[in-house]
């Protein structure tokens, strides 16, 4: 599989719908300016699928938080055991959201990379066949430290997220794909809405 670059920007709702439709058939990498809502969209995917959500803050995680090597004295080898907190070892479908993947230290990217393509696994542990994996980052041109190696980029579908718009119309309606719709449903204070 090689990198697929959508040649249009999508709203958060369109990206969410496309990620759910794609399911475990590929990995989506969301790119967009800081603060457009990529991370908050993950919670909607978890809610809609009913799968357990795994949020990984990639630049702020240590390798030992993912797993540790355990020696096998009989074979004189080691195997990496995943940390129980993530639930990678459970045979259940997950929504794994790797936030700021493009800012993570290279060794963390290397550890997470096997989740990007088939067969999906982490530290030698196969993930449930229905597991959805999404990565997110900013445009490399934003100058905030985003970089992805070509062997990772070749295994993903890149979705560029549109800037949200307020969405409040003169007739009193609110666009479904707008910041205003999210703000109203999230109980944002009227002073902020104004």
Query: 65-69, 74-78, 190-194: which range is least confident on average?
Result: 190-194
- What are the contacts of 181-187 at 24+ separation with CB within 8 A? 182/37, 182/40
Which CATH entry fits the domain spanning 4-163: 2.40.10.220, 3.40.50.300, 3.40.50.150, 1.10.10.10?
A: 3.40.50.300
Residue 151 has phi, psi (to 5 degrees) of: -70, -25
Query: Residue 157's closest CA among 14, 39, 19?
Result: 19
Antiparallel, parallel or unpaired: β 77-82 and 67-72: antiparallel
Structure confidence at residue 192 (pLDDT): 80
Tens digits of per-residue pLDDT, 73-99?
999 999 888 989 898 888 899 999 999
Structure confidence at residue 17 (pLDDT): 93
- What are the contacts of 21-26 at 24+ separation with CB within 8 A? 22/132, 22/157, 23/130, 23/132, 24/93, 24/120, 24/129, 24/130, 24/131, 24/132, 24/133, 26/1, 26/156, 26/157
pLDDT higher than 50, residue 2: no
Distance CA 51, CA 91 (A): 12
Sign, CA dihedral 170-174-179-185, equals positive
60, 101 Cβ separation under 8 angstroms: no
- What are the contacts of 188-194 at 24+ separation with CB within 8 A? 193/168
Q: Per-domain residue ranges for the chain? A: 4-163, 167-194
């Amino acid at each position: 599989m090689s990198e697929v670059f959508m040649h249009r920007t999508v709203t958060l709702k369109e990206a969410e719908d496309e990620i759910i439709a794609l399911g475990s058939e590929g990995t989506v990498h969301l790119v967009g300016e800081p603060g457009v809502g990529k991370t908050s969209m993950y919670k909607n995917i978890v809610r809609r699928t009913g799968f357990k959500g795994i949020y990984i803050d990639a630049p702020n995680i240590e390798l030992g938080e993912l797993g540790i090597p355990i020696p096998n004295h009989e074979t004189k080898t080691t195997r990496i055991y995943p940390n129980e907190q993530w639930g990678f070892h459970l045979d259940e479908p997950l929504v794994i959201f790797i936030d700021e993947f493009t800012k993570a230290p290279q060794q963390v990217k290397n550890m997470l990379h096997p989740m990007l393509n088939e067969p999906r696994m982490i530290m030698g542990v196969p993930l449930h066949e229905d597991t959805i994996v999404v990565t997110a980052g900013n445009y490399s041109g934003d100058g905030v430290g985003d970089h992805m190696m070509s062997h990772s980029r070749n295994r993903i579908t890149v979705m560029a997220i549109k800037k949200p718009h307020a969405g409040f119309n003169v007739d009193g309606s609110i666009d479904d794909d707008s910041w205003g719709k999210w703000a109203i449903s999230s109980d944002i204070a009227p002073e902020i809405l104004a």
